[in-house]
Amino acid sequence: INTIGVLTSGGDAPGMNAAIRAIVRTAIASGLNVKGIMRGYAGLLNEEIIDMDKQSVSEIMRRGGTILYTARCKEFMTEEGQQKAAEILKKHGIDGLIVIGGDGSFRGAQKLSALGINTIGIPGTIDLDIACTDYTIGFDTAVNTAVEAIDKIKDTSMSHERCSIIEVMGRNAGYIALWCEIANGADGILIPEKEQFDEQDLIETILSNRLKGKKHHVVINAEGIGDSNRLAKRIETATGIETRATILGHIQRGGSPTAKDRVYASTMGAYAVDLLSGGATNRVIAYKAGQFTDFDIDEALAMKKTIDEYQFLISRLMVMY
Ligand code: F6P
């Protein structure tokens, strides 16, 4: 390997810049050239490729988002698009590519690997919805942002003795919601992985908690369930308790990354360069059972992730009434 390309793809996540910085600096220290590919696979197809040096990643670690920008790209999903992308990479002398993103982005890396480009994926998403790993870049920051926001909503909810429905991100996964339930405390949680916890159960819990003397209520609703405003109306009608919905939204994607996201993302970045230097391809970096490791992308994409049952049980046991 002589030249490594790096791109960020899919939703941005705090800590992506730390990974980019680590890739650039460790690659240059190993005598490799590094090129940044702007706007994910879309930018690759448009040949938006820049040279990177140690200076170009200076002071980026504490910044949220991604300095390389990101995009979702339809053209790259086609065989012609993938062929064109591989040709562009070869034309620019890029023989190793690091893709920071989620499962969709890894599928792209898998295709490029089959077309002769050595590729490594780094899990970057606030959703934590990548099966092969217990850690994804950005989740820690996103959860901390959500926890802080929910604390604030609780202050006003308590003062008005209201019920608050708080919708957190996560696409089809409930990890941010589950962590917030444990970290903030709530009357209930609605997550896609546990559909049996339905709205009627929730209404009954809120009513019974009120009867036992609870003066305010918080429900954490995962984006994958959604419909928070309708849910708030339904709860208000059924319980007579004034209810408000707050959708936290993209605030969860921004902000300066936590120390954990900076350190883990840096480690994954350096690890990816090491793998490429050793001739590896079609691998994805993971953090599993307390260790950084890597998997074949095909194997990683075939894995299924389920919510941690013990963690879910703990979240239930923490409910006060
Ligand atoms: O994957 C990260 C994420 O923030 C999800 O939680 C959410 O469903 C989605 O991206 C939102 O995407 P967009 O910013 O394109 O609306």
Q: Which residues pair with 124 in a beta bridge?
A: 137
- Which two tokens mark 182? 């444990």
The reply to whether 125 sits in an annotated binding site is yes
Mean pLDDT of 59-78: 95
Q: Above 0.90 for ipTM, yes or no?
A: yes
User: What is the whole-number distance in angstroms between the Cα of residue 118 and the centre of ligand 1?
Assistant: 28
Ligand 1 close to Cβ of residue 105 (< 6 A): no
What pLDDT, on the 0 to 100 scale, is given for residue 113? Answer: 98
Instruction: Answer yes or no: 127 catalytic.
Output: yes
User: What is the whole-number distance in angstroms between the Cα of residue 213 and the centre of ligand 1?
Assistant: 38
User: What is the whole-number distance in angstroms between the Cα of residue 230 and the centre of ligand 1?
Assistant: 21
Whole-structure pTM value: 0.96
What pLDDT, on the 0 to 100 scale, is given for residue 317? Answer: 87
What is the rounded distance in angstroms from the CA atom of residue 226 to the CA atom of residue 278?
45
Ligand 1 close to Cβ of residue 136 (< 6 A): no
- Which two tokens mark 229? 């405003």
Contact 8, 73 (CB under 8 A): no
Q: Ligand 1 atom 2: the closest Cα is on which residue?
A: 11
What pLDDT, on the 0 to 100 scale, is given for residue 228? Answer: 97
Residues in Cβ contact with 79 at an 8 Å cutoff, skipping those fewer than 6 apart = none
Instruction: Round the average pLDDT of the chain to a whole number and report it.
Output: 96
- Asked if the model's pLDDT at residue 320 lies above 80, the reply is no
The reply to whether 160 sits in an annotated binding site is no
Give me the phi and psi of 123, to 5 degrees please. -70, 115
